[in-house]
């Protein structure tokens, strides 16, 4: 991990249709954000909030049941515009890598920004940690977030599908993978000069 570099771990929860194709023209919108900023291997700050959906403001029963998010919570959440401004502010102090588990978070953020005529908030490098995990361990399929942390013999933070808990769980997996990479990185080969003290050899022949 780079020093004085921000690793920004993000997780969003989205609206869900009741059934396939219902409501008509449905697309997912962000209704919860969880964010954890890490600088120099320490959590620098966290942020979480519910977010008001625009196109389909009424949550479906399926969405409320699956995510345990209620209508009054999103009704009192921040606006999408406020969310974009908050995300944009995180790149002001450090060069930043934005890290998510899977590519859906950034796809939905980009799509909802386009629909609302808002600028996409990030310019930094983006990393899909689930793909890094897949490549690192040679898995054929992408692994779910909590299954991945359990494969390390750990447990996820808090509750799955709570955006902040999932963001912090992603941070913890990132640290575990980076630590494994450090141990597996090839070391410089030992030279014969490292194994033999030539000054002693030369002194022996000088006698």
Q: Is 13 a catalytic residue?
A: yes
Q: Give me the catalytic one of 2, 5, 13, 132.
A: 13
Separation CA 161–CA 68 (nearest Å): 9
Q: Give me the catalytic one of 42, 72, 161, 187.
A: 161
Q: Is 160 a catalytic residue?
A: no
Spatial strand order of the sheet with 30-39 comes to 42-50, 30-39, 6-14, 96-100, 125-128
Return the closest-CA partner of residue 99 out of 172, 162, 153.
Answer: 172
Separation CA 38–CA 90 (nearest Å): 11
Q: Is 201 exposed, middle or buried (0-12, 13-18, 19+ CB in 10 A)?
A: exposed
Residue 180 dihedral angles phi and psi, to the nearest 5°: -65, -40
Residues with active-site annotation: 13, 161
């Amino acid at each position: 991990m780079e020093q004085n570099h921000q690793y920004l771990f993000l997780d969003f929860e989205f609206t869900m249709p009741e059934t396939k194709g219902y409501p008509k023209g449905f697309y997912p919108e962000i209704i919860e954000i969880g964010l954890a900023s890490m600088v120099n291997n320490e959590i620098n700050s966290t942020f979480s909030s519910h977010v008001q959906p625009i196109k389909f403001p009424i949550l479906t029963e399926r969405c409320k049941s699956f995510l345990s998010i209620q209508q009054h919570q999103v009704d009192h959440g921040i606006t999408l515009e406020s969310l974009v401004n908050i995300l944009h502010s995180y790149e002001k102090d450090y060069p930043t890598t934005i890290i998510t588990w899977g590519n859906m978070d950034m796809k939905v953020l980009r799509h909802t920004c386009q629909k609302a005529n808002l600028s996409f908030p990030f310019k930094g490098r983006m990393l899909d940690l689930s793909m890094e995990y897949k490549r690192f361990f040679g898995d054929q399929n992408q692994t779910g977030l909590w299954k991945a942390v359990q494969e390390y013999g750990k447990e996820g933070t808090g509750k799955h599908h709570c955006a902040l808990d999932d963001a912090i769980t992603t941070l913890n997996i990132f640290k575990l993978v980076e630590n494994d990479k450090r141990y597996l990185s090839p070391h410089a080969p030992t030279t014969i000069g490292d194994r033999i003290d030539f000054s002693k050899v030369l002194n022996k022949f000088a006698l």
